Structure 1
Amino acid sequence: MSSSPLSPASPSPSASASASASTSQISFGPLSDNPSASHHLIYFITGNPGLIAYYDTFLRTLHELLPNISTSTASANNRVFHIYGQSLAGFDVDEQISAKSPSPLRESPYSLEDQIRIHLKALAEFRIQSGPRQGQLHDSVILIGHSVGSYILLEIIQRLRQHDSAPRIKAGILLFPTVTHIAKSPSGVKISTLFRIPNFPKRISTLVKALVWLLPKSFMERAVGGITRMPDDAAKVTTGFLRSRMGVWQALQMAKDEMETITEDRWDEDIWGIEHEEADYKAEIPKLIFYFGQNDHWVADHTRDALIAARAQTGGLSKSSKPIMLIDENGVDHGFCIRHSESIAEKVKMWIDTILSDL
């Protein structure tokens, strides 16, 4: 990650239907030499801790489920997809202090507002990256956000609607969203108490650094896996996060920012839509699909149910631009990317098919 809050990791061009990946970004681009193919960007926004590597299996599975090679003839379903996600700023596990660095490393965490601005800039610059339509805007953009990434998603939609030249956001898929009153959740109540300790995020970060650097990396990976019961790949990502220069501080400081910022429902009908409206008005509002967890420790049941009662659609899809709001019935955890990536990817693929069915 760049040290500037307005300079995200640049999307890497992908000339084939394969991944362009690093520790800070994952990119699956389509292969298409057909100028009639429609191009759709699936832009993913992580939760906190904001390491994109946690979502490798999820994004890879979604890539395998969606078409990535166009046919040579025109067809209503001749679509190709570019899937892209990057780590939130401040979570770079490869960042090293060097006298040869072109610019000094950032010495304080990024705020939630910084993260929103970074993703806005990345989306504004994103173009089709290969084939005969290289350099053009995508025909549609579908945002996917997880946890606080869902809050960032809603802010992006609201802010982009103020610009005529902005990318066309077709829809947003919000997975285990924390978009209102996160401090009232079970985990929010606990961590908010800790944030009353002066300079708690920096103090804990310093303590963690002192502990983890005494231990060999391989030992830490085994210990993290044993303590958390994470699969090996997630344990490796977590170990990298704990050993990174600023990751723990960034995660805790951002969590503090979330507790203070994510409170009341702050969006209007430009985001939420209305139950019955003219067709032209409905077409202008991105379709939103919320997928909540049961007994989610980061989302209080009563705040979730209040949001569903106030904002979810009650009519059919053809009659409403209001969000679809669903509650998981399969016991999937808030951190779905650790053990349930494949099943959630299958749901997301189904929702994408429905979203694009009218194109």
Structure 2
Amino acid sequence: MPPKWDTASSSQISLCPKSNDESASYHLVYMITGNPGLIGYYDTFLKTLHNRLSDSLHFPPKSNTFHVYGQSLAGFEDDTCSEPMLESPYGLEYQIQRSQKTLEGLRIESGPHKGEQFDSIFLIGHSVGSYILLEIIQRLKKSSSPLKIKSGILLFPTVTHIAQSPSGVKISTLFRIPDFPRRASIAAKGLVWLAPEGVLKWLVGLVARMPPEAAEVTTRFLKSKMGIWQALQLAKEEMDNITEDRWDEDIWGIEQEVAEVKDERPKLIFYFGDNDHWVANHTRDALIAARGQAGPGNESSKPIMLIDENGVDHGFCIRHSESIAEKVEVWIDDMIESQT
């Protein structure tokens, strides 16, 4: 069966398996966006990842099938009809709960195993989506959820001390202005609505140097009813809440662990940027020293933590979707091969 896109809403991307082999293992890849939380930014990344996983040469294509799914965070899309219209933006806690609820409701969509849970789940979080990812894993563990979370892949993660990053320092200063997110959004929308959509898209592409696809998503975000306010309010909550490391060994793992326990713990892979403007180098290095694997070894259940060496920006999904998708595909392939 060919991959299928959920075209009913710009707020969701759903790529289904390319086959319905009864004997295949069914895997879910679940994407959690950064801020601004529009899934459209990850269109090329998710398409590339789905195609690479489905056509992988590391194992027989029919032995594993992949459903790739992602949704926009609440408040960023005007067509998110399932969400109640609020007079103020959605908070970080709501985004966590909503992302978890969606994950828990996903099932195999077609074929002989329709309606069943997936054999394994790979979570991918970008930026604040990485923070949401860790919160979901922790909450699922505490609730003894039957979901089989195999891994969490955290791309350019902002999971501690985001306010100490170069951009965090700048925006935190602005948040000292009373009611800054709402006031700034009103001013920005006044300017945005003066420009025709075609002109605005051209300006976004020119000023931000974005390719046409990203410029179109950004234009939709800027024209949305609450998008700018939602992004700024969520950013403020990120500054206030993403501070100290808040997770324990149940999430981080330990250096020496028996194989049975290690296999049950979701494998975490962190991929940091080099000189990421949303992640201070000193907080990144401190987290790697405290929580990363001390060195190669099969006994460790602690996260693998890597630093990009190719000059990829924090917003990788704008210009570097293909190269990051290639890395993620290799990591997922390796974890699936280790299961067999």
Contact 2:293 2:302 in 1 (8 A): yes
Q: Distance in 2 between matches of 1:131 and 1:222?
A: 44
Aligned match of 1:356 in 307, 330, 336? 336
Partner of 2:47: 60
Task: Determine the structure 1 residue equivalent to 2:71.
Answer: 86
Structure 1 pair 358/212, CA: closer, same or farther in 2 (3 Å)? same
CA distance in structure 2 between the partners assigned to 1:317 and 1:143 by the alignment: 23
Q: Aligned partner of 1:292: which letter?
A: F
Q: Which residue of 2 aligns with 1:299?
A: 279
Rounded Cα–Cα distance in structure 2 between residues aligned with 1:281 and 1:127: 26
Decide whether the 8 Å contact of 2:53 with 2:333 is kept in 1.
Answer: no
The structure with the greater share of residues assigned to helix is 2
Write the distance in 1 (CA, Å) between the matches of 2:82 and 2:289. 52
- 2:34 aligns to what? 47
The one of 257, 272, 283 equivalent to 2:263 is 283
For the residues of structure 2 that align with 1:233 and 1:243, how far apart are their CA atoms?
16
- In the superposition, relative to structure 1, how do residues 85 and 104 fare at CA in structure 2: closer, same or farther (>3 Å)? closer
CA distance in 1, matches of 2:215, 2:43: 13
Q: 1:104 to 1:326 in 2, by over 3 A?
A: closer
Paired residue type of 2:70: G
Q: Is the 8 A contact 2:54 2:61 kept in 1?
A: no
Q: Is the 8 A contact 1:19 1:26 kept in 2?
A: yes
TM-superposed deviation, 1:35: 1.7
Q: CA RMSD in A?
A: 1.8
| Distance across 1 between alignment mates of 2:298 and 2:182 | 50
Matched, 1:19 2:10: no
Work out the CA distance in 2 between the residues paired with 1:201 and 1:309: 35
- Unpaired runs of 5+ in structure 1? 1-14, 96-100
Q: Following TM superposition, by how much is the alpha carbon of 1:212 offset from its aligned partner in structure 2, in angstroms?
A: 1.1
Kindly provide the amino acid, as one letter, of the partner of residue 32 in structure 2.
I
Separation in 2, partners of 1:317, 1:118: 36
Could you list the runs of 5+ residues in structure 2 that have no partner in the other structure?
none
| CA distance 1:178–1:104, shift in 2 (3 Å) | closer
Q: Is the 8 A contact 1:68 1:80 kept in 2?
A: no
CA deviation string 1:112-142 (max 9, x = no partner): 1000000111111111110000000000000
Residues 236 and 33 of structure 1, relative CA distance in 2, 3 Å threshold:
closer
Deviation at 1:23, TM superposition (A): 1.1
Alignment equivalent of 1:29, drawn from 16, 19, 40: 16
CA deviations on 1:92-117 (whole Å, 9 max, x unpaired) are 1446xxxxx89962211111100000
Contact 1:17 1:68 survives alignment (8 Å) = no
Q: CA deviation at 1:18?
A: 2.6
Which residue, 261, 280, 299 being the options, matches 1:319? 299
> Normalized against structure 1, the TM-score is what?
0.90
Identity, % of aligned positions: 65
Cα distance in 2 for partners of 1:216, 1:76 equals 47
1:137-156 matches, cutoff 5 A: 137-156=117-136
Paired residues in the alignment total 336
Does structure 2 conserve the Cα–Cα contact (< 8 Å) formed by 1:29 and 1:68? no
SS of structure 2 residue aligned to 1:170? strand
CA distance in 1, matches of 2:40, 2:116: 28
How far off is 1:76 after superposition?
Answer: 10
**Partner SS for 2:142:** coil
SS in 1 for 2:6: strand
Aligned to 1:266: 246
Structure 1 residues 81 and 317, CA gap change in structure 2 (3 angstroms) = farther
Distance 1:265 1:219, change over 3 A: same
Q: SS of the residue aligned with 2:94?
A: helix
**Partner residue in 2 for 1:337:** 317
Q: Helix, strand or coil for the counterpart of 1:315?
A: coil
Mapped contact 2:29–2:122 kept (Cα < 8 A): yes
Shift of 1:202: 0.3
Q: CA deviation at 1:283?
A: 1.3
Offset, 1:234: 0.7
| Distance across 1 between alignment mates of 2:248 and 2:82 | 43
Aligned partner of 1:172 among 152, 170, 193: 152
Amino acid across the alignment from 2:3: A
Aligned to 1:212: 192
